[in-house]
A and B are shown apart, each in its own frame.
Chain A
Amino acid sequence: MTGRGDLCVAVERVSKKFSRSLKRSFVYGAWDIARALLRSGESATLRASEFWAVQDVSFTLRRGQSIGVIGPNGSGKTTLMRMIAGVLRPTLGAIRVQGRIAPMLALGAGFKPVLSGRENVFLNLSLLGVSDRDIRARFDAIVEFAELAEAIDAPLGTYSSGMLARLGFACAVHTDPQILIVDEVLSVGDAKFRTKCRNRINQLRKAGTAMLLVSHSAILIQALCDECLYLKRGLIAARGTPDETLGAYESDIVQNLAVGNAARVAGCSGEASEAGHSKARILEVRFTAREASGAGIWLTGKPGEMILSVGCTSPVNDISLNVIITDLTHHAGETVQFMTSHRDIGWVRLDPGRPELRVSFPAVGLRPGTYRVKISLSQGLMHDILDVLDDARVIVRDAGSGGNGLYYQPREWTITGGTVTEMPTVPATSELEAVEEL
C-alpha cells in the first residue's frame, strides 16, 4: 500500500538545457540572472549552441522503491541525478523531494586536506545537513565503519585514496538518508570494505530507504532495482521492469554495433583494395548465436558463430583466417583469444566469387561483456596480410549459466543416489556479480 506520504521523489516534466559553448554559457548565465531578477522564468526555447540535456522526464520514487537509470554516456543520467540532489535547478518542470538525500555522487564533499579526519567528518556531515548533535552521536560509528580509529586525528592529506573513499562513504551512509543516489559502480576500498558497503546499503534499503541507481551494468540493475528507466539523448526511451527496459537498451546497443561493424567493413575493404591487395577482401562479418535474439551477440556457454564473407576475383592459396579477441569490459585491452585457421585446420584455398569462412564455438567461453574482434586474412607462412578488419565488436551476454568466472567452463553434472527435481526461476544474471560490482 503506497500513499502520498510514501512519496520520496516526484519528478514532473523536468527538462534541463545546457550550452555547448563555454563562453556563451557565461553570457547566457548573466542574462538568466537578469531574467530571474525580473521573475520572468527561464526561456523554454533553445538559444544558439544550447541543447536539451534532459527533456520532459517524469517519474516518482516511493519509500522502499529502487529505480535503476541506464543509458549511454551523455544521455543525461548524471544531470538528472544532480537535479534531484538539488545541485542543479531544472529549466522546466519541478522536482519535489521528501526526506534527506545521501548523494553518492559526492563522497567527501568539502574535505580539507590540512584538517584532521575528525574535523572533516564534522564538516562533511554539516554540509550534508546533519546537526552537530547527531554528528556527535554517530561519530564513533562512522569511525568504526571507516576503519580509521587510529588515523582519525591525523590530517586528511596523509590518508591514502582508499582511506579517503572509506571515510567519504562512511559519512554518506551515516546521514540517516531516506533516499540514496548511487551513481555508477561503487568500488570503494578493498573487497572486505566493499562487502561492508553493500551490506550497509542493503540494511538501509530494508529499513525503507529508496534508491536511485545509475549504472551501465545490466547485472547490477537487474539484481537491485524494481523499476528501470532508459535515458537516450535526454529523453526516456523506455521504462518498466528492469528486464523489459534492459531488453530495449541492449537491442539499441546491438543495433548500433551492427551498424558500426558494417561501416568498419566498408571502410577497411576500400583501404585494402587501394593498397593493391585485392586478391581477397573482407566483405561482411556477422556474429550469431542460435538462441540470441539479434545478430552481433554471443551467449556465454551457448553455441556461437562468426561468419566472414570474402570477395575473390581469382583462386588464392595458403590462406589463413586470424582472429584476435580483446576484452573491452573487464580488463580493457587485454587479449583473451587468438585463433588462426592454418594452425587449427591447415591452409585454405579460396575459390573465386564470394566464399564464406565460418568459425563455430560449441560453447562460447567468453564471460559477458563487450569485445573487440580483430580479423585478418593472411597468405603463406610469412603472413602477407590481404585484408584486415581491425575493430569489429561483439557483445557477449549471460545466458543464465553464470558469468562470474574468468571464462565459461563447459560442464556436465551427474547425480548418483538422487535426482534433479526442478529448475528454480532466478534472474538470468547472478547476484554474486552484482554484489561484487557493488
Chain B
Amino acid sequence: MKRGMEGVAKTIALSWRLFAAAVGARYRNAFLGYFWMVCPAVLITGGVSLASQSGVINPGNTRLPYPLFVFLGVIVWQVFAEAVKVPHVAFDGARAYLTKVHFAHEALILAQLYESLIGVFVRFTAVLLLVAWYGESSWRGIGLLALCLAGSNLLGLGLGAMLMPFTMLFADLQNAVKLILGYGLFLTPAFYVPESAGLLSSLVQSAPVAPLMNSARDAAAGAALSQPDALAAVLALSLLMTMAGMAFVRLSAPIVIERLLLGGR
C-alpha cells in the first residue's frame, strides 16, 4: 500500500516535470499560445452568426443570443476533441525515449492532460467573458459551466485513452479519428436545436456531448437544467471511461512500445 502511494507520488512528480518541460518548450516557440486556443471558436461563431443573421441557417429556438449559443457549443466540442487527442499526442511525442527508458507511462498522459487543462481554463475564461458580455452570469451558472467543460474533457480523455493503443498502431485509424474530430461538430447540437423527429435529429441529440452542450447553455441562460438525468449519466460515463482508459493504457503500453521499437511509424 505504502509503495503504491509512493509510486503514485512519483508518477505525479514526473508528470509535472514533463509538463513543465513541454510548456517551457512550447512558449519558446510561439508567442500567441492562448490566442490559438480560442481563435477557432471565435471564427466559427462569427461565421455561423453571420449565416444565421442572413437566414442561411435556421437555428430553431435557442433561448440564448445566437453567438453565445454557438460559442458554448463549439467550446464544449473543442474541449472534448482536444482531450481525445491527449493520449495519442502524449505517446507520439515521447517516441524517442519510450523505447529507451522505463518509467510510469501514466505520467506522460497526465502531463499532456495538464497542458490540455490550460486550454480548458483559457476557453472557460473566454466563455465567462462572453456570458458576462450578454449579462446573464450567476455563481450557479459558472459552477455548472465548469462542470460541463470538465465532463467534456474527461469524456474525451477516456475515449482517447481507449483509442490510443490502436491509433499508435494503425495510421489509418488515427487519420479517421482526426477526420471525425474535425467534422463531428456537425453531428452535435452545436449550431442549432434539432426539433424534428428525423434520424439526423435523434442522432444529433444522442451524441454523448449533447447533454453537456445543452446543460452549458441552460447554465448560461440561468434556466433550470433541461436534461438533468442525461447530464448525470454522461458525467458518470466520462469518469468511468477515464478510469477504464487509463487502466487500458497501462495494459497495452508495452505492446505498443515494442512496435515503436520495430521502426514502425
A residues near B (Cβ < 8 Å) are: 18-19, 22, 25-26, 29-30, 32-33, 36-37, 82, 85-89, 103, 105-106, 109-110, 112, 114-115, 119, 122-123, 126-129, 131-132
Contacts and interface: CB of A to CB of B under 8 A. Distances in A.
9 contacts: A29-B256, A30-B169, A87-B101, A110-B94, A110-B96, A110-B101, A119-B24, A127-B97, A132-B13
A32 B103 contact: no
A167 to B, nearest CB: 15
Given A105-B100, A115-B24, A115-B25, A25 B264 contact: yes
Given A32-B255, A119-B21, A123-B18, A86 B100 contact: no
Given A29-B256, A88-B261, A126 B13 contact: yes
Given A114-B25, A115-B24, A123-B18, A103 B101 contact: yes
Contacts of B136: none
B165 interface: yes
A115 B21 contact: yes
Nearest to A103: B101
B233 interface: no
Nearest to B171: A26
Given A29-B169, A87-B99, A109-B100, A36 B17 contact: no
Contact of A109 (B97, B165, B166): B97
A251 B94 CA distance: 43
Given A87-B100, A123-B17, A127-B103, 12 more contacts: A18-B262, A22-B262, A26-B169, A26-B264, A29-B169, A36-B251, A105-B100, A109-B100, A110-B96, A114-B28, A123-B18, A131-B10
B99 to A, nearest CB: 6
Interface string B1-43: 0000000001001100110110011001100000000000000
Closest 7 A/B residue pairs (Cβ): A86-B102, A106-B100, A109-B97, A126-B17, A89-B254, A33-B252, A110-B97
B112 to A, nearest CB: 14
A168 to B, nearest CB: 11
A110 B21 CA distance: 10
Q: Which of B99, B101, B264 has the most CB of A within 10 A?
A: B101
B186 interface: no
Contacts of A109: 96-97, 100-101
Interface in B35-77: none
A244 to B, nearest CB: 33
B170 interface: yes
Given A85-B101, A109-B97, A122 B17 contact: yes
A396 to B, nearest CB: 35
A86 B100 CA distance: 9
B110 to A, nearest CB: 13
Interface in B99-123: 99-103
B101 A128 contact: yes
B102 A85 contact: yes
A127 B14 contact: yes
A165 to B, nearest CB: 15
Interface residues of B, number: 37
A89 B10 CA distance: 22
A29 B259 contact: yes
A88 B29 contact: no
A132 B20 CA distance: 13
A110 B25 CA distance: 12
Contacts of B100: 87, 103, 105-106, 109
B170 A26 contact: yes
B257 interface: yes
B263 interface: yes
B263 to A, nearest CB: 7
Contacts of A87: 98-102, 257, 261
Interface in B238-252: 248, 251-252
Contacts of B170: 26, 30
Q: Which of A26, A88, A89, A103 has the most CB of B within 10 A?
A: A26
Given A87-B100, A132-B13, A36 B255 contact: yes
Contacts of B10: 129, 131
Contact of A22 (B18, B97, B101, B263): B263
A342 to B, nearest CB: 52
B91 to A, nearest CB: 13
A377 to B, nearest CB: 45
B258 interface: yes
A88 B20 CA distance: 27
Contacts of B101: 85, 87, 103, 106, 109-110, 127-128
B177 to A, nearest CB: 15
B62 to A, nearest CB: 43
A106 B97 contact: yes
